[in-house]
Amino acid sequence: MTRYVRNMRGYGQNPPRAAWPNDAKIAVQFVLNYEEGGENCVLHGDAASEAFLSDIPGAAQWLGQRHWNMESIYEYGARAGFWRLHRLFTGADIPVTIYGVATALARSPEQVAAMKSAGWEIASHGLKWVEHKDMAADEERAAIAEAIRLHTEVVGERPRGWYTGRCSENTVQLVAEEGGFDYISDAYDDDLPYWLELEERDQLIIPYTLEANDMRFATAPGWVTGQDFYTYLKDAFETLYAEGTDGAPKMLSIGLHCRLVGRPGKLAALEQFVDYIQSFEGVWTPRRIDIAEHWQTHHPHQRIERPSMMDKARFVESYGGIFEHSPWVAEQAHDLELGPAHDCAAGVHNVLCRAFRRAPKEARLKVLQAHPDLAGKLAAAGRLTAESTSEQAGAGLDMLTDDERARFTQLNTDYVAKHGFPFIIAVRDHDKPSIMAAFERRIGNDSTTEFAEACRQVERIAEFRLQDLLP
């Protein structure tokens, strides 16, 4: 059994209506990353200096040495940038979420007091602003626990949100395993929150952003001027606001850093954007914890039986009748690579059709031959499957005149004699006259053409049947 854990489906074509407070058309959520004092530095016991997200072009780590310029740039974020951003957001009456590195918070008591006084959420950004990718699971688990302990000690309450950023493949699982977080944001895969089933825990994920993010002032390709940043944020806002106006409200996350957008030449653009969105009605500017509480209340998670998680016996029990009297199709489909993308009608249809299409022609012929005649003897005797009975009745084939029944009987006889299998059509696409017209037309096809068409119709019938069972 091959299973693919990545989820390419998401909400699909029908995302939930967010139902933001006061019928807001968009949630614009500002995150301020507070990392200053938690970055790589030999003073912190690290092997080398920091090299990530600064205004130093091509910065590299200095092994075993302090990097005075790098430290100074980070210090600007704490000494000046933070307070400039604090004035902006408190003046605009917009609460933000702080992604606070625990060791950085511990080294910045005045800033922590200002965050708390402003009513900002202080979520955890890990213990130190370092890479987690090479950490063993036990080492990372211990780092998460220490981050929570220190954060609680410094802030006065434990964090309810988590974002590592420089995470490992284990991070989300380990943070969820801890059990105390209302949300995790180590994801960039949606414009809405969603639930992730991790063993027994239903974990809320509130995706973050690396593109509507001032980090691109320090990366290539990236922002050069503040107006680059403003234009991008404005375009993102307008696109999502229009979607919300059309009845599909979304969330716009905006990532900020004290040492980057906190510089005067960059901050002007952020001020311009804040002024711009405040000129619109229906804009909600919450903290991330506010989004989490809203989602938990209005979109609580409900577990369903997922096809990708079924064992073969259960899968065949559920879908073995989709292809008429041919459970082998479901048996073979179950052996394909299934994942979250297949937990819907389109997904199961895809793997069933793949199993059907890869089968030898003789096996596909038997599937065709397993289908009943339209309005034939089996229907008259009440011996159709429940699905076929419902489908034929829905097209009015259970209410034929004597002349219509006689004509269907003759066509059935002639068609099978010519092609070797019954006439098959997805009756839900038709009414009685169009079924008869298709019958009259298709009986004249050569058998190769008609075999291919009959297979397509079998797949279409399967699609309808699955839509009755799955989202």
Could you report how far apart the first and last alpha carbons of the chain are, in Å?
23
What residues are annotated to the active site?
371
Three-state secondary structure call for residue 183: strand
Cα distances from 246 to residues 10, 16, 241, 251, 376, in angstroms, run: 20, 13, 9, 14, 48
* Omega within 30 of 0 (cis) for the link into 340: no
State the residue for tokens 């993308």. 341
Q: What is the DSSP string of 59-99?
A: ----BTS--HHHHHHHHHIIIIIHHHHHHHHHHTT---EEE
Q: Tokens standing for 6?
A: 């990545």
**Alpha-carbon distance 377 to 392, whole Å?**
13
Three-state secondary structure call for residue 202: strand
Q: Tokens standing for 32?
A: 């301020």
For residues 408 and 445, is the Cβ–Cβ distance under 8 A? Answer: no
For residues 67 and 50, is the Cβ–Cβ distance under 8 A? Answer: yes
Cα distances from 19 to residues 10, 202, 205, 451, in angstroms, run: 18, 21, 17, 49
**Alpha-carbon distance 279 to 243, whole Å?**
18
- The residues facing 122 across adjacent strands are 98
Strands 161-162 and 183-184: parallel
Three-state secondary structure call for residue 146: helix
Residue 191's Cβ-side half-sphere holds a number of Cα atoms within 13 Å equal to 22
